[in-house]
């Protein structure tokens, strides 16, 4: 059996050796899930809700150890690992509160003789291939509602978050989800490919646009429900009437939190010329206060770049921008190894001829562009193939609403950024993906509607 080696991205040390799946074990797991799913779906919803409730309690009880595991394999600062786990709890509460109602059968017609009802039945066996950057969030956004609604799940966490993927699976098993109903597949992209060859009823993917495209191509011609939650190039516009200092502090955090490795990290900033210089000064001062260091240290804010190849992407974006006339204020080059390090990097004088303003950076790198007003800002915000989130900072709510209504994005923010709510749908426009998670719709998405026509006997 092959092995998956887990390395600490901060210092390069070996964290764990895991027995990896192969094509044969993936096929065996898929068959076991298929056989087990009907009995799981037939259990009362209350039993499945109780299992998720026990899972929640276990996360709370083991939070410190789970945070340490996450930090060791992803390089996320320990305080931010705790934040992710604590942030998971309201999501679980939402699923626990809404799970039953979301899939309750609805009677939509009744004239005494004829009744019409809509039922919501599980898809069957679904696959979840997910990213490493927030493995608890992106894993549970799929696993929990999929299981609650009666599906079996083949879960392939990222190779860079395999220990966390195993921990999530173990806690769900201990909470009462049968081992045959939920499988954790260990391995890299090849295991994901083997999974795609199985007879699955739904594929729920979180990751990069390039991999999402490969997955869509691998499933072409098969009628498998496909959801893709992909990357973005999320813009924010700071209007002339905004408080530039408050906006700068908020956006510096939005750009650099999780070492810039969030799908909804702020990736482009447009600032009105009237407040540009004050904004940039405060932004640079805020970033200068972000402490880089060992992710295990309590005070660390900038941790490791999880995937080494991303260092090349970041350096290339900075070099391209500088060659085309941008001003580099700080950072710009990888730090010394072992491990993957990149300091907070801020560029001004940028424009859309630069890769930095077009393609996802996925690191602590940000470009700030001066604009003359609302029309230019909206045009630039929409000049992208992505559409995950977008924001506006202004004192004027009506202006913010009018601007954000014109921006092509699944999520829009007024005076905030880098925020996800379990009550709201999480979805992308264009190359940021198809489908959604979270909200009541993000529970129903693991079911298909079944139409019932019921005529009473005469």
* Residue in 140, 159, 184, 263 annotated catalytic: 263
Using CB under 6 A as the binding rule, whether residue 183 contacts ligand NDP is answered as no
Task: Pick between residue 128 and residue 447 the one whose CB is nearest to ligand NDP.
Answer: 128
Q: Among 153, 172, 230, 357, which residue sits at the site for ligand NDP (rule: CB under 6 A)?
A: 230
Q: Show the CA angle centred on residue 384, arms to residues 366 and 214, nearest 5°.
A: 100
Note whether 128 and 155 are within 8 A (CB).
yes
Structure tokens at 86: 């604590």
Distance CA 330, CA 33 (A): 51
263 is catalytic: yes
Q: How far apart are CA 127 and CA 197, in angstroms?
A: 11
Rounded to whole angstroms, how far apart are CA atoms 80 and 259?
Answer: 10
Q: Which residues of 50-87 are buried (b: 16+ CB within 10 A; e: fewer)?
A: ebbebbbebbeeebeebbebbbbbbbbbbbbbbebbee
Number of residues that bind ligand NDP (CB under 6 A): 33
Q: Does 287 bind ligand NDP (CB under 6 A)?
A: no
User: Tokens 């992803």 label which residue?
Assistant: 74
Interaction between residue 133 and ligand NDP (CB under 6 A): yes
Candidates 73, 267, 360, 374: give the one binding ligand NDP (CB under 6 A).
360
Which C-beta is closer to ligand NDP: that of 184 or that of 242?
A: 184
- By CB under 6 A, the residues from 328 to 347 that bind ligand NDP are none
Contact call for residue 132 and ligand NDP (CB under 6 A) = yes
Angle, CA 362 vertex, CA 360 and CA 364 arms, to 5°? 120
Q: What angle do CA 59, 61, 64 make, to 5 degrees?
A: 80
- The residue nearest ligand NDP at its CB is 192
> Of the residues 229, 355, 359, 360, which is catalytic?
229
Torsion sign across C-alpha atoms 120, 124, 129, 131: positive
Instruction: Give the interface segment with ligand NDP, choosing from 67-75, 90-98, 187-195, 325-333 (CB under 6 A).
Output: 187-195
Closer residue to ligand NDP in complex, CB, 394/411: 411
Residue 189 found at the interface with ligand NDP (CB under 6 A)? yes
Binding-site member from 214, 333, 352, 448 for ligand NDP (CB under 6 A): 214
Q: Does 138 bind ligand NDP (CB under 6 A)?
A: yes
Judge residue 363's burial from the number of C-beta atoms within 10 Å of its C-beta, 0-12 exposed, 13-18 middle, 19 or more buried: buried
Contact mark string toward ligand NDP, 64..93, x via CB under 6 A: ------------------------------
Residue 303 to residue 258: CA distance in whole angstroms: 7
Nearest-5° Cα angle at 306, 304 to 309: 115
Positions 291 through 330 that interact with ligand NDP (CB under 6 A): 307
Using rule CB under 6 A, residue 362 touches ligand NDP: yes
CB of 241 to ligand NDP, least distance (A): 31
Q: Which of 152, 175, 347, 370 is nearest to 274 (CA)?
A: 370
Among 131, 302, 356, 409, binds ligand NDP (CB under 6 A): 131
Which one, 199 or 449, has the nearer CB to ligand NDP?
199
Q: Which is nearer to ligand NDP, 367 or 435 (CB)?
A: 435
Angle at CA of residue 390, ends 299 and 287, nearest 5°: 25
Binding of ligand NDP at residue 159 (CB under 6 A)?
yes
DSSP E strands: which ranges in 319-446?
327-330, 345-348, 365-371, 389-393, 411-414, 426-427, 433-434, 436-437
**In the complex, minimum distance from the CB of residue 202 to ligand NDP, in angstroms, rounded to a whole number:** 15
Separation between Cα atoms, residue 390 and residue 411, nearest integer Å = 7
Closer residue to ligand NDP, CB minimum distance, 189 or 343: 189
Cα–Cα distance for residue pair 131/204, rounded to 1 Å: 11
Helix (H, G, I), strand (E, B) or coil at 361: coil
Q: How far is the CB of 87 from ligand NDP (least distance, A)?
A: 13
C-beta of 161: minimal distance to ligand NDP in Å? 8
User: Which helix (DSSP H) or strand (DSSP E) does residue 399 occupy?
Assistant: helix 397-405
Among 229, 243, 359, 418, binds ligand NDP (CB under 6 A): 229
Taking the least distance from each CB to ligand NDP, the nearer of 71 and 427 is 427
Say whether 229 is catalytic: yes
When binding is defined by CB under 6 A, the residue of 158, 258, 300, 384 that contacts ligand NDP is 158
Restricting to residues 376-415, which ones interact with ligand NDP according to CB under 6 A? 388
CA distance 420 to 158: 21
Q: Does 160 bind ligand NDP (CB under 6 A)?
A: yes
Q: Which residue's CB is nearer to ligand NDP, number 144 or number 215?
A: 215
Q: Which two tokens stand for residue 280?
A: 């940039």
Q: Does 442 bind ligand NDP (CB under 6 A)?
A: no
Residues marked as catalytic: 229, 263
Which residues contribute to the site for ligand NDP (CB under 6 A)? 129-134, 138, 156, 158-160, 188-189, 192-193, 196, 206-208, 211, 214-215, 229-231, 263, 307, 360, 362, 388, 426, 428, 433
């Amino acid at each position: 059996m092959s092995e998956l080696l887990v390395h600490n991205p901060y210092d390069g040390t070996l964290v764990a050796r895991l027995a990896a799946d192969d094509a044969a074990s993936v096929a065996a797991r898929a068959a076991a899930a298929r056989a087990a799913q009907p009995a799981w779906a037939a259990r009362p919803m209350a039993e499945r809700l109780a299992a998720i409730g026990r899972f929640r309690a276990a996360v709370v009880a083991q939070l410190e150890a789970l945070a340490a595991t996450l930090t060791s394999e992803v390089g996320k600062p320990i305080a931010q690992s705790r934040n992710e786990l604590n942030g998971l709890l309201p999501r679980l509460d939402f699923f626990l509160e809404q799970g039953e109602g979301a899939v309750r059968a609805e009677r939509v017609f009744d004239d005494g003789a004829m009744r019409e009802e809509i039922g919501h039945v599980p898809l069957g066996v679904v696959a979840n291939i997910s990213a490493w950057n927030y493995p608890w969030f992106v894993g549970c956004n799929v696993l929990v509602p999929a299981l609650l609604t009666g599906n079996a799940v083949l879960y392939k966490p990222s190779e860079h978050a395999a220990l966390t993927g195993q921990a999530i699976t173990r806690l769900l098993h201990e909470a009462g989800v049968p081992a045959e109903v939920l499988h954790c597949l260990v391995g890299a992209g090849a295991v994901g490919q083997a999974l795609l060859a199985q007879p699955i009823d739904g594929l729920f993917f979180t990751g990069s646009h390039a991999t999402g495209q490969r997955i869509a191509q691998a499933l072409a011609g098969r009628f498998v429900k496909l959801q893709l939650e992909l990357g973005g190039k999320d813009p924010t516009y700071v209007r002339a009437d905004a408080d530039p200092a408050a906006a700068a502090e908020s956006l510096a955090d939005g750009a650099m939190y999780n070492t810039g490795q969030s799908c909804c990290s702020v990736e482009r900033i447009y600032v009105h010329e009237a407040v540009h210089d004050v904004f940039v000064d405060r932004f640079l001062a805020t970033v200068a206060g972000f402490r880089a260091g060992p992710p295990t240290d309590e005070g660390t804010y900038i941790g490791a770049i999880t995937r080494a190849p991303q260092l090349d992407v970041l350096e290339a974006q900075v070099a391209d921008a500088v060659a085309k006339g941008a001003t580099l204020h700080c950072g710009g080059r990888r730090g010394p190894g072992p491990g993957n390090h990149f300091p907070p990097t801020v560029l001004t004088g940028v424009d859309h001829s630069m890769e930095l303003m077009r393609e996802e950076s996925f690191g602590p790198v940000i470009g700030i562009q001066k604009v003359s007003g609302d029309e230019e800002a909206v045009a630039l915000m929409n000049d992208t193939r992505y559409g995950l989130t977008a924001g506006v900072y202004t004192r004027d709510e009506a202006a913010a609403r009018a601007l954000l209504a014109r921006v092509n994005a699944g999520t829009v923010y007024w005076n905030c950024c880098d925020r996800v709510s379990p009550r709201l749908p999480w979805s992308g426009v264009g190359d940021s993906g198809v489908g959604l998670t979270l909200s009541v719709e993000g529970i129903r998405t693991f079911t298909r509607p079944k139409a019932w026509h019921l005529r009473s006997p005469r």
